[in-house]
Amino acid sequence: MPPQTNRNGAVSRGREEWLVLVPGFLALAPYVLYHGMFGRLFWFGDEFDLIDQFDRMGFGPWIWTAFSENFVPLFKVLWGGSVLAFGGSYVAMMAIVWVTHALNVALLGRLLRVCGFSWAAVVTAQVVFGLSPSNLETLAWSVQWSAMLSVTFMLLALASFFERPSGRAPIAWAAASALSFSRGVLTGLLVGAVSLWPWSGSLPRRIGRALAFALPSIAVALVIAVMVPTGNQRHMQGHWEAALVYGAWYYLLNPAHYLFGIESAGTWTLALTGFLKVWLMGWCLARSRGDMRLLFAVLVAFDIGNAVLLGIGRYQMGLLTAMSSRYQYASLIACVPAAGFWVSRQWERLPVPARPRSAAFWGLLAAAAVVLWAGWPNELDPFTVWRGTDSRRILDPSGPASAAVPGYPGFPIERARELIAKYDLH
């Protein structure tokens, strides 16, 4: 019996479906190869604030309070529950983060296959996203699990929707994305917009589906507006220009600036990386068709939406922070499908017989994976000294009483040490 295919002709059932898991498992390689370095990491910054809050309030009430500019009850249940379930082990927290990342790599592959991408394009996107050291902070700080979970649910929502537009599962996934991270509100809005496309059913029915996707995002956005009166979104008068500039820097420089180790951040660099990014996305939109083109449009909107929200939320942090490794995860998700599509199309045009051309492609991709693996130690070693070795020394009970809590100077250090002892944070 032949494997079932979706309307794009991509395999959606059977053995081939599971091939997207292979790059997902490979994405764990940096964590496995450099587990000794990851083992140095220790609780840092906002993590102490979160643990302090659920210790003082009680776990149940704490879930429904705001965290910074986020209203993230689902993330809090999962993160706080993990802190308690794993007895304060940061090694366990890192393992959860990396397993989630591996899942996201596999889900990205599934989404691209559902939308009709070739295997060459799919695996190229998965390898770059899965192995890039530019994701360092996201993959080495448990608080960033919030952003990762929102991506997990977004990928689930999009893949489920493109595979079965009339299904109900994408609505649940879109709501989960919004309840995991503040910028997760984009998921429901994006899937809602796509559902207006003439897939099936009457216009009123499509509008109803769009509202069902969008309403959880709108509700979470309203809760954030009410519960976080000190957030930047409430005080934007006179700051819109700064927010626009910050958002533009994020959009035009990422992910190329960090991914390729570009040192300059001047006007010419901004213009060059921005031009190449806009050209690439425009090329992909022009050369693709059907679900593939629609997915590219969604990813462009997702990238721009992140730029807008980051501009509003972080304009006061300084422009150089727009290229921070904590912001690369979403940018890579938005761009690697386009890069994979472009590479695969150019490779197909080489005047070389199919078999040697295919063998050369997979050989070069394997070499690229090794290069990405090899880039981790240079990024990871100083990071784990700062976020691990030094933190452990400062927070040790015998450490100086006047020292500041790493990553959260205003947090009382004696309270941090009390939480370390009470929850066996190690």
Helical H segments across 288-348, by residue range? 290-314, 328-348
Tell me what percent of the residues of the chain surpass a pLDDT of 90.
Answer: 76
Interval 163-172: pLDDT, tens: 876 666 688 9
Contacts of 261 (CB under 8 A, 6+ apart): none
Residues 6+ apart with CB under 8 A from 176: 74, 149, 153
Q: Tell if the pTM clears 0.85, that is, is over it.
A: yes
* Torsion angle of C-alpha atoms 110, 130, 254, 137, degrees rounded to 10: 130
CB contact at 8 A, 333 and 271? no
Distance CA 287, CA 276 (A): 16
- HSE-CB of 223 using CA atoms within 13 angstroms: 20
CA atoms lying within 13 Å on the CB side of residue 229: 0
Burial of 373 from C-beta contacts in 10 A (0-12 / 13-18 / 19+): middle
Query: Quick one: DSSP state of residue 143?
Result: G
Give the separation between CA 297 and CA 291, rounded to whole angstroms. 10
Buried b (16+ CB within 10 A) or exposed e, 124-134: bbbbbbbbbbb
C-alpha distances out from residue 354 to 84, 121, 347, 348, Å: 54, 16, 10, 8
- What per-residue confidence (pLDDT) applies to 225? 83
**Tens-place pLDDT, residues 139-151:** 999 999 999 999 9
Beta bridge partners of 5: 11
CA distance 369 to 374: 9
Q: Which regions of the chain are under pLDDT 50?
A: 1-5, 9-13
Phi, psi for residue 11 in degrees, rounded to 5: -65, 125
Q: In whole angstroms, give the CA distance from residue 125 to residue 119.
A: 10
pLDDT digits (tens, 9 = 90+) for 164-220: 766 666 889 999 999 999 999 999 999 999 888 876 678 888 888 889 999 999 999
174 φ/ψ angles, rounded to the nearest 5 degrees:
-65, -40
Number of residues in the chain: 426
pLDDT digit string (tens) for 252-281?
999 999 999 898 888 899 999 999 999 999
